[in-house]
Structure 1
């Protein structure tokens, strides 16, 4: 990015009034605060970060490398994590404040009416209460002690450092950081990866579709043969695979109208991740190699923050979420690890009989009072609101007026039960073996994840994490894809204490949660890959229901299988080539059918069909065929589903998964018995769109759109638009619509070879920093920077002074 050019653009936009930024500042006075050179926001943003700070925890240093990754050195961990808190606040304080506000339900105090519905939802779910009991669950642990030191470092920066530009634009100052705020950040991550109201959506579909159609379009098992654990092909010791009992279902759908409100607070579609590990048996070095790229929201600044900590015998580098002290994914002296989303079902929904006044609900044969708290939501520039926060024996109670009637649903979520993942994440930094990693993993209660590990002793591992409920009805294990009768106590989790510290234990028939050893996993696989597909075909218990379509997982295994079969010595460069793989299996399956229907397509499609005929099915920016397929597929999907679902009053969020569409028979009724006709119609529409837009290659269309939280209000804060490769269904993962994709790429050989990493943007959240977006082009081009664990030479950038407590 040309910093000087973009600064001028920013000033022109804001001072000229074209950015509309005043809407973000209910108190008004934006131009006065920003007007150079005396405006408050300008002055704050231009001040330097203090390079010396006092600490009660002992001395430390922070040295930044060429990409602004802080390398923290200290004798004690307390001193180190104080410095980490100071560094994170210096680089990402506004991002940290925004997260805790969202989860605490206090966004409107800064943003006004526009965030009121978000505050209502987050207050009613009482994520703050859940964070409080998680804080109790880790009380007295080393993680809690170090989170307190981190808190002190954040507050030291708030007291001494310049506030980020965003605070000046909004006209408020952040309150001090609390340890609870770190737990709130964890709540956002956990809910963002496991929170779902899809049970309501599936209930609507079961009501609107006949049973046969529903089972065909929304199968419990998607039609592919590439689960994470492939029978007979994985190597190593497999566990968690055993035939479950009948997949019984109980209950009825209830309150689907709530989806208009609740769907805004579910995780975005197509969030996911890839990772794979190859044992030393198949690598050039004879040591394992591990590759990881989580697919999350692409935003400014990025969701991940990279850091390196050397203290008290620990040497760890990797990525974390701003506001969380500890490295979530990375490597230490012994090994490396990372996580992809499992898709496990850890939310149950309930309906209740309530009295006429709506003040009591029936449970276990008697009327009970809701546990109720009234919260005041402050609204900047508007009238404050009161929100009734209600709870039942199962968890949060969400109610909403719909057409003059109150609809409701009770929510039980494992994240409400006093969870210990903060302690587990800290313990990862300390592990010296696979067994120690597995031991720490047992305290990783939320979110449910596919954990992968490799180390320098040659050990590798995959294991499913998190607390997964075992649902029983009438003595049978059942799925959680129905809304249950809360008044009848139907399908409850024994030992679960919502907003209290839960008892997660239990054995055999008494177990309320899947025992750790019964979760899918493999010790020392030859090689193994995950991409959010189902873990295995026949788990001991029903694990989940929201798995990816499997295209990425299938492609990862195709490449791994070929390399191993050919005897290729897999190394870091080969792993990078797989992370950069852009072959779209949807295209490989459908393009031959498109070409077979060519005689039914208009002549204007000929150049694009010619390009497809010679295409290798790779979604590369310089490809005309990739452009034609991408736009055609959108039209094909719309032509197949839109009319039928619109007749039912259902929008796109109800449409079947992509694997279902790709594998439907050509004579299926969804195509009115003639898929070729639908293919041809979609191609005509696609060509019209392409010509109207003036696109020539995929890179004209597939352009990054990574925006600041202010979005179009202060558009100059957004990153530059760059052409890139990939799609939502390729290993090189990028989704233009919705702004999601590879949010962190990491390759860690367990040999002497150097690790590599990259984020989609920059480490420093300050717009005026040269590190605001200095990794963006690397990321868009599939390139990497070094991920060294050597502290850079030269003087420290920040010196932490002071004695220990």
Structure 2
């Protein structure tokens, strides 16, 4: 009844909000919506368990058995792969149809069809990024692989079989609230979701921001603020001896940058800067059992429904369990009876911006190598709910689509800004995961990765035979130093990418002597690697903490690895708080300042839920960044502050650095003074927070304010006050709206693989289901549940709660 009361209250609230705020025709018809036999009441807590046990669908060759366990994970048993992926599509849609469709609408720039012109700017940006263009190129490549096309088509048929059997009462609640119907699923939608993930993990480039910074501050300061590398880092692969190949050479181009003027802003256009992950594998020499253990926790937005959908896929061709992406066939992160794998974002610069010179306002032609070349125009119709369609013309050049021009976040004069993105190229990432699902050994793993392009990932691997490995895989252009770090001159074709790093020369580790491999979005490799490697935002703390712990541990157990995934040690604070405290020890403090100062002296640097020190440090550091980098604020151009690591390095080593002078004061501040000012402002911030929240005590879990947000931003369906430790740059990378979206630990025992997992949410996308967020308490408390990896459909388990049979009509 608790869930039923929640959904009644929330649904009525959302419906009333919709009626009051939506244009006529957009709000749900309340009579139909409130109908007790067909409306939102049908989305109450019993929906997941009233499915028919016998289901019929066109397109199956043989019956398929689907067994559900006690956390609503489907275990699909099919007699062939075609039926297997059909059933995966059907079952996934049964739980997550609205999420699948909403996310692909977002990817393709079609949200305005659902919510009207409030989404127009977002949709225009997606169209101008060439998201559909990228997905179309993916489908073009898929046509060349009959086997993979068959997999995607089977999945698509399964989704559509479920859609075709829906009545209004069966629709997910969001369809009823937003008053629209699901449409046919297509191969293009599968591709769109993959490209959406690519955009989320690659488009946090800073070319335009760096161009502005270079022009504003000059080369001397730019190099101090934004260095390519920093000292003391721990790359994914460290060791010059293995680079025993002849690298591909490219010519350095002089005068390639376009830094003659400030460039366009990008308001609210970036993915979350913390999109990343942790993964590692420890070899049997370091574990108590003698078996390898593999771990992965991808860090993404904390959304509802969950980003991931757990599933087991069993056929005569293989048996695999793991986390899938709703809308895409196969398992993305998981394991089978011989191997396990996981991913983290590789953070490589695969997006370059080019300044395009148009001949005139018609944008029919642009200059290239001294000639005027025709643009290829793509007219995008954006359907606006409640009003007439909006038409946007996107110009395509040899570089790619022109995102910014005089019609969208205006560029300067006759210039446009086009971007070259590797995700626009034909690719076959689906092939990689299909092969990983069926892999049996290290060579199979390497073969699977050869098909992978974007977003570049650090693929961790472990096998029951004892092998462990890490390979950084993607399609990487060979770049000369700083190529693509700034806006490039688009009038010369010589500034294009000239070659790509061969897959065999991508960074990799296989059974290293130290007994483990790991990655956490840090520098990929040491400076001995013969290619220029660059990204604007490498991780500089999580990776070192993980490696410190793994180095120190012996006789490792799965429980040890769970503890490490939930580790809340704040390495930024451990390395820098003592320095900060020394700068304020001579400061004349009031009573509140003294209390906070003494609390920080006693803090052990762990960001646990119930500690105050973590909140005090965060408030202080936030104020410090604002004061130190005030030169970046209030500008009409796009700029970005230096990294935390660089900030502290400058504070410690260059006390009189010009940027420490606070612009809003007549005095000239140095490092010590600005740290003292930030401390006092941080104390005031804490006191204001206590007053606003009505809190007597400060606890990190409250101050951080972690919450899960519904994909459609429907506030009654958000879950607030999630009590979990960690933060940015901590192994448990849980911040306000971002964190570990799936935690998995796998022990590769030859006698039978054992695995544990958890994610913040649940299997069901139905807000009225007890399986909508039933896993959240486990995740919140750092707990896991055993993953039921069945070997046959006849296997007995007390965790099985019911089953379904899909069969041909």
TM-score normalised by structure 1 residue count: 0.90
Q: How does 1:622-637 map to 2 (within 5 A)?
A: 622-637=610-625
In structure 2, list runs of 5 or more residues that go unmatched. 662-668
Q: How does 1:19-98 map to 2 (within 5 A)?
A: 22-23=21-22, 27-37=26-36, 40-43=39-42, 48-51=50-53, 52-57=55-60, 58-98=62-102
Counterpart for residue 192 of structure 2: 184
SS at match of 2:268: helix
Go from structure 1 to structure 2 and tell me whether the alpha carbon gap of 1:684 and 1:247 turns closer, same or farther (over 3 Å shift): farther
> CA offsets, 1:154-175, max 9 Å, x none?
0011111322111111111121
Go from structure 1 to structure 2 and tell me whether the alpha carbon gap of 1:37 and 1:24 turns closer, same or farther (over 3 Å shift): farther
Are 2:148 and 1:143 equivalent residues in the alignment? yes
User: For 2:376 and 2:300, how far apart are their aligned partners in 1?
Assistant: 35
- 1:594 corresponds to which of 559, 580, 588: 580
Go from structure 1 to structure 2 and tell me whether the alpha carbon gap of 1:391 and 1:650 turns closer, same or farther (over 3 Å shift): closer
Q: How does 1:350-749 map to 2 (within 5 A)?
A: 350-356=354-360, 357-401=362-406, 402=410, 405=413, 407-471=415-479, 479-493=483-497, 512-525=499-512, 526-538=515-527, 539-563=529-553, 568-596=554-582, 597-600=584-587, 601-642=589-630, 644-646=631-633, 649=636, 654-666=640-652, 667-669=655-657, 670-672=659-661, 674-694=670-690, 695=695, 696-711=698-713, 714-736=714-736, 739-749=737-747
Counterpart for residue 666 of structure 2: none
Offset of 1:797 from its aligned partner?
2.8
Q: Is the 8 A contact 1:86 1:156 kept in 2?
A: yes
User: For 1:374 and 1:349, how far apart are their aligned partners in 2?
Assistant: 22
Counterpart for residue 335 of structure 1: 339
- 1:311 corresponds to which of 298, 312, 315: 315
User: For 2:781 and 2:258, how far apart are their aligned partners in 1?
Assistant: 46
Q: Is the 8 A contact 1:200 1:255 kept in 2?
A: no
Are 2:125 and 1:121 equivalent residues in the alignment? yes
User: For 1:91 and 1:391, how far apart are their aligned partners in 2?
Assistant: 39
Give the CA RMSD over aligned residues: 2.6
In structure 1, list runs of 5 or more residues that go unmatched. 495-511
User: For 1:182 and 1:613, how far apart are their aligned partners in 2?
Assistant: 53
User: For 1:65 and 1:239, how far apart are their aligned partners in 2?
Assistant: 50
SS at match of 1:735: coil
Aligned length: 767
Offset of 1:75 from its aligned partner?
0.8
Q: Is the 8 A contact 1:141 1:423 kept in 2?
A: no
Q: Is the 8 A contact 2:384 2:390 kept in 1?
A: yes
Offset of 1:321 from its aligned partner?
1.2
Offset of 1:244 from its aligned partner?
9.1
Q: Is the 8 A contact 1:241 1:536 kept in 2?
A: no
Go from structure 1 to structure 2 and tell me whether the alpha carbon gap of 1:631 and 1:29 turns closer, same or farther (over 3 Å shift): same
Offset of 1:340 from its aligned partner?
0.8
Offset of 1:108 from its aligned partner?
0.8
More divergent stretch after superposition (363-372 vs 516-525)? 363-372
> CA offsets, 1:694-742, max 9 Å, x none?
252212212321110232xx32211242211001111011111xx1111
> CA offsets, 1:12-43, max 9 Å, x none?
5236x357774388523453343252664444
> CA offsets, 1:626-673, max 9 Å, x none?
12112111112112112x22375567x511111111222441423346
Offset of 1:247 from its aligned partner?
8.3
Q: Is the 8 A contact 2:211 2:263 kept in 1?
A: no
User: For 1:648 and 1:701, how far apart are their aligned partners in 2?
Assistant: 29
Counterpart for residue 500 of structure 1: none
User: For 1:97 and 1:743, how far apart are their aligned partners in 2?
Assistant: 20
Go from structure 1 to structure 2 and tell me whether the alpha carbon gap of 1:561 and 1:21 turns closer, same or farther (over 3 Å shift): farther
Offset of 1:479 from its aligned partner?
2.5
User: For 1:244 and 1:724, how far apart are their aligned partners in 2?
Assistant: 48
Offset of 1:679 from its aligned partner?
2.4
Offset of 1:119 from its aligned partner?
1.6
User: For 1:21 and 1:134, how far apart are their aligned partners in 2?
Assistant: 42
TM-score normalised by structure 2 residue count: 0.90
User: For 2:649 and 2:87, how far apart are their aligned partners in 1?
Assistant: 54
Q: Is the 8 A contact 2:19 2:28 kept in 1?
A: no
Q: Is the 8 A contact 1:55 1:82 kept in 2?
A: no
User: For 1:588 and 1:765, how far apart are their aligned partners in 2?
Assistant: 40
Offset of 1:488 from its aligned partner?
1.5
Q: Is the 8 A contact 1:237 1:523 kept in 2?
A: no
Go from structure 1 to structure 2 and tell me whether the alpha carbon gap of 1:21 and 1:292 turns closer, same or farther (over 3 Å shift): farther
Offset of 1:272 from its aligned partner?
1.1
Offset of 1:67 from its aligned partner?
1.1
SS at match of 1:687: helix
Q: How does 1:289-300 map to 2 (within 5 A)?
A: 289-300=293-304
Counterpart for residue 497 of structure 1: none
Q: Is the 8 A contact 2:263 2:411 kept in 1?
A: no
User: For 2:726 and 2:634, how far apart are their aligned partners in 1?
Assistant: 34
Go from structure 1 to structure 2 and tell me whether the alpha carbon gap of 1:513 and 1:664 turns closer, same or farther (over 3 Å shift): same
SS at match of 1:340: strand
Counterpart for residue 236 of structure 2: 228
Offset of 1:363 from its aligned partner?
2.1
- 1:211 corresponds to which of 219, 224, 232: 219
Counterpart for residue 664 of structure 2: none
